[in-house]
């Protein structure tokens, strides 16, 4: 990474607002107080180190989970500025103290510290401070080793002080923090979640080395190191590991122009999914796409059709290939960098800069066009696959039209087995997808008919990871799901037409139930992804145990809840009944424990990193048995609430 001479001092630290409300409303700043929010603290600290790497000032980041529950992040960047901040309102606080104690203070809001930053979407290390019981900061800068620490949610304990000389030539920052158990439901970091995020960061920052160690009791103390000399080319190769590539070499091109740049890596595989494009802006996953994706998709369609026509691969009277046909089996990474990204959309995961659409479109028209000319054998394979996809799409359209005609003749078009709710307000409506007719009957009796709809499904639906859409639409259970939700499917899916904004998967807590749930999640992720991205999909949590306390029946969610109950009631003598099947509950039990809004527990399904989710679904639901076995063995120690 090339060093630059950009200045970075106290004058570059701009203050936007204070820190008072963070502990009162942590969810506003980190999303939740569950594991997602806990891991967000790590990302905030690591993102600062990555920003140093993007600016050309860091090449190594070390992350360690310490035995006492702390997380430690060390980088070899410039170090947080330690000189007094020039703003007189700050009463001569050092810039480092400002960064740690004032929300949204940093070198990314108009100062000269960073030209490009991923931290613009974040809330700063000050939030980490606010939500921790202790934070320690060590800064090597200007030849000195500085130290400061904070206690009890950001209260200064030791003001910034020099504690000797820095190791010769050493600059950088170390942040150690202990999350507050009074804020978080669980302060036990999940190593695999962090590793997935760090690997993605390393892919997006060519040559950056991120090393992770889990020094906790029972953890793996051996360092796991991510460093990719090929950057996003290696990312595409990694995502296609479990898929059969159409050609060996991953394609790549890049373009820089007027303070912004784009790099794109791509490779087609023999799969049937057309949602393998993953985009990033300044290292931030833009899961809702945006201008950079629009520019790429438009130019990709133009390039492939232009090439196919020029080479006689499409006859004169044949229609152009559609974008979805061309994207079938495509894995592509679009990574853009720009000084002032505009994020918008439901999850702030959509890039709004129009200039970036123009840059990506021009680069793709020119440079991808060159790739097709220079790789004629591979280009013909791409056109051939797109042609097959086009035929399958037309067959699927006929199947959909036949389904629509049939629905029109039969009346309302809703599946016979759907027990719909009375409300037509999707914000109120809940669709329970229930495993089996027996449980469906109990759920129908237990529901609130005004807002809760029930759709029983029989057995295991088709694994859509291994099927084209024309095959998928022949499956009766999938047809029922599409009709009930009412928003179409695949490229035609329109989330604004969804009839319910809560779609709840209610399956048995056994192996078959888990398999059915995974098949359903695969279907939603591949064919109705925006339902998942908008967090409309939930998993019901029926209890695993019941027992009697006095004359009252008590339900316990899982083994952990049972253990807590026994700790609190050591003299409890009654037996525990294991409730493995929804069909074993009568309707009032099912209603009280799993469906009643006041008493139930739901797990919300979210996609923080679509590329990681894509890889997991491909591995678990694809054809590569060895890859699936390796994934299960690697992640087995992190599985929670397993019931088999």
Specify whether 262 is located in the same domain as 119: no
1 versus 434: the higher-pLDDT residue is: 434
pLDDT band at 643; cut points 50, 70, 90: very low
Number of independent structural domains in the chain: 3
Looking at the structure, tell me whether residues 372 and 473 fall in a common domain. Answer: no
pLDDT at 551 over 50: yes
β-pair partners for 334? 264, 279
The whole-number pLDDT of residue 209 equals 96
What is the pLDDT averaged over residues 334-340? 91
pLDDT tens digits, residue range 104-122?
655 543 444 444 554 433 4
pLDDT at 514: 77
Mean pLDDT of 575-597: 82
Q: Does any domain span residue 453?
A: yes
Domain boundary among 226, 259, 282: 226
Q: Give the CATH number of the domain where residue 279 resides.
A: 3.30.230.10
Active site residue 508: yes
CATH classification of the domain holding 153: 3.30.565.10
Q: Which residues contact 22 (CB under 8 A, 6 or more apart)?
A: 29, 103, 126, 127, 130, 131
Q: Give catalytic status of residue 6 as yes or no.
A: no
**Residue 173 forms part of a structural domain:** yes
Q: Is residue 1 part of a domain?
A: no
Q: Are residues 524 and 592 located together in one domain of the fold?
A: yes
Q: What is the pLDDT of residue 171?
A: 95
pLDDT band at 485 (very low <50, low <70, confident <90, very high): very high
Do 196 and 271 reside in the same domain of the chain?
A: no
Q: Has residue 95 been placed in a domain? A: yes
Residue 225 in 3-state DSSP?
A: strand
Please state the rounded mean pLDDT for residues 519-539.
Answer: 88
Q: Are residues 20 and 129 in the same domain?
A: yes
Q: DSSP class of residue 538?
A: E
Per residue in 15-39, pLDDT (tens digit) is 545 566 788 888 888 878 888 899 9
Query: Which one from 142, 512, 592, 643 is the annotated catalytic residue?
Result: 512
Whether residue 169 sits in one domain with residue 91: yes
Neighbours of 49 (CB within 10 A): 25
Cβ-contact 446, 461 below 8 angstroms: no
Both structure tokens of 377: 């054998």
- Beta bridge partners of residue 214, listed in sequence order: 65
Same domain? For 379 and 484 the reply is: no
For the domain that residue 444 is a member of, what is the CATH number?
3.40.50.670
Per DSSP, what are the bridge partners of residue 433?
A: 455, 505
- The band of 274, judged by pLDDT with boundaries at 50, 70 and 90, is confident
Domain shared by 442 and 326, yes or no: no
Q: What's the pLDDT at 438?
A: 81
In a domain, 64, yes or no: yes
* Given 325, 477, 508, 589, the catalytic residue: 508
pLDDT tens for 399-445 read: 666 655 454 444 446 888 899 999 999 999 999 999 888 888 889 99
141 three-state secondary structure: strand
355 pLDDT higher than 90: yes
Same domain, 88 and 184: yes
Q: Check if 592 is active-site.
A: no
Active site (annotated) includes residue 140: no
Q: Which of 344, 510, 586, 588 is catalytic?
A: 510
Q: What is the mean pLDDT of the chain?
A: 84
Sorted by sequence, the CB contacts under 8 Å of residue 544 that are 6+ apart come out as 509, 556, 557, 558, 559, 562, 578, 579, 580, 643
**Domain identity same for 377 and 486:** no
| Phi then psi dihedrals of residue 521, to 5 deg | -65, -40
Residue 284's beta-bridge partner residues? Answer: 281
Name the range with the highest mean pLDDT among 233-237, 526-530, 636-640.
233-237
Q: Are residues 27 and 135 in the same domain?
A: yes
The answer to whether residue 261 is domain-embedded is yes
C-beta neighbour count of 566 within 10 angstroms: 14
Tokens of 258: 């007027």
Determine the length of the chain.
644
DSSP states of 288-350 as a string?
A: T-BHHHHHHHHHHHHHHHHHHHHTTSS-TTSPPPPHHHHHTTEEEEEEEEESS--EESTTS-E
Mean predicted confidence (pLDDT) in 118-131: 70
Q: What's the pTM value of the predicted model, to 2 decimals?
A: 0.70
* Burial class of residue 399 in the structure, from the number of CB atoms within 10 Å of its CB (0-12 exposed, 13-18 middle, 19+ buried): middle
Residue 624 lies inside a defined structural domain of this protein: no
Instruction: Please check whether residue 408 lies inside any domain of the structure.
Output: no
Exposed, middle or buried, 277 (CB in 10 Å: 0-12/13-18/19+)? Answer: buried
Do 153 and 20 share a domain, yes or no? yes
119, 51 in Cβ contact below 8 A? yes
Q: Which of 62, 328, 435, 477 is catalytic?
A: 435
CA dihedral 430, 433, 438, 442 (to 10 degrees): -10
Domain of 25, in residue numbers:
10-226
């Amino acid at each position: 990474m090339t060093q630059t001479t950009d200045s970075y001092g106290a004058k570059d630290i701009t203050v936007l607002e204070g820190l008072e409300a963070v502990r009162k409303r942590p969810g506003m700043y980190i999303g939740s107080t569950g594991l997602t929010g806990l891991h967000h603290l790590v990302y905030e600290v690591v993102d600062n180190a990555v920003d140093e790497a993007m600016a050309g000032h860091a090449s190594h980041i070390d992350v360690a989970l310490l035995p006492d529950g702390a997380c430690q992040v060390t980088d070899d960047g410039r170090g947080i500025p330690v000189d007094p901040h020039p703003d007189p309102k700050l009463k001569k606080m050092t810039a480092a103290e400002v960064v740690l104690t004032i929300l949204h203070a940093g070198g990314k809001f108009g100062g000269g510290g960073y030209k490009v930053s991923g931290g613009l979407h974040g809330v700063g290390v000050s939030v980490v401070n606010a939500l921790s019981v202790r934070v320690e900061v060590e800064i090597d800068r200007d030849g000195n080793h500085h130290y400061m620490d904070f206690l009890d949610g950001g209260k200064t304990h030791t003001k910034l002080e020099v504690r000797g000389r820095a190791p010769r030539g050493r600059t950088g920052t170390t942040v150690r923090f202990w999350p507050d158990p009074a804020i978080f439901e669980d302060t036990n970091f999940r190593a695999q979640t962090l590793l997935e995020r760090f690997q993605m960061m390393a892919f997006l920052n060519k040559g950056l080395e991120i090393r992770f160690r889990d020094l906790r009791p029972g953890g793996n103390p051996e360092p796991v190191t991510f460093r990719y000399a090929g950057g996003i080319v290696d990312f595409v190769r990694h995502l296609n590991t479990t898929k059969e590539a159409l050609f060996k070499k991953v394609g790549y091109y890049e373009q820089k122009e007027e303070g912004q740049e784009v790099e794109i890596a791509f490779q087609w595989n023999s799969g049937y999914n057309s949602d393998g494009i993953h985009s990033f802006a300044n290292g931030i996953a833009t899961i809702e796409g945006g201008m950079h994706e629009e520019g790429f998709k438009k130019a990709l369609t133009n390039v492939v059709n232009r090439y196919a026509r020029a080479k006689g691969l499409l006859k004169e009277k044949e229609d152009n290939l559609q974008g979805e046909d061309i994207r079938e089996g495509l894995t592509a990474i679009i990574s853009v960098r720009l000084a002032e990204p505009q994020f918008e959309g439901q999850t702030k995961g959509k890039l709004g800069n129009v200039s970036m659409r123009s840059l990506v479109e021009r680069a793709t028209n020119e440079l991808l066009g060159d790739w097709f000319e220079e790789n004629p054998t591979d280009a013909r394979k791409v056109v051939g696959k797109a042609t097959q996809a086009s035929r399958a799409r037309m067959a699927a359209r006929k199947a959909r039209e036949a389904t629509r005609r049939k629905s029109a003749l039969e009346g309302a078009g809703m599946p016979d087995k759907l027990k719909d709710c009375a409300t037509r307000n999707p914000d109120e409506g809940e669709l329970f997808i229930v495993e089996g007719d027996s449980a469906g009957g109990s759920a129908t009796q237990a529901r609130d008919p005004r807002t809760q709809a029930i759709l029983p499904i029989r057995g295991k639906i088709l694994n859509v990871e291994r099927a084209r859409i024309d095959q998928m639409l022949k499956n009766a259970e999938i047809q029922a799901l599409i009709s009930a939700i009412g928003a179409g499917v695949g490229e035609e899916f329109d989330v604004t037409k969804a009839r319910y904004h809560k779609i709840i998967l209610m399956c048995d807590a056994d192996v078959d139930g888990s398999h059915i749930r995974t098949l359903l999640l695969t279907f939603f992720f591949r064919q109705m992804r925006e339902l998942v991205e908008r967090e409309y999909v939930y998993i019901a949590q029926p209890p695993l145990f019941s027992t009697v306390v006095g004359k009252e029946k008590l339900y316990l969610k899982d083994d952990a809840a049972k253990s807590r109950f026994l700790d609190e009631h050591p003299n409890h003598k009654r037996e525990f009944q294991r409730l493995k099947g929804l069909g074993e509950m009568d309707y009032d039990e099912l209603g009280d424990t799993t469906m009643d809004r006041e008493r139930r527990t739901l797990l919300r399904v979210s996609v923080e990193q679509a590329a990681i989710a894509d890889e997991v679904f491909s591995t678990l639901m694809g054809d590569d048995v060895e890859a699936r076995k390796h994934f299960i063995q690697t992640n087995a120690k992190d599985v929670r609430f397993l019931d088999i």
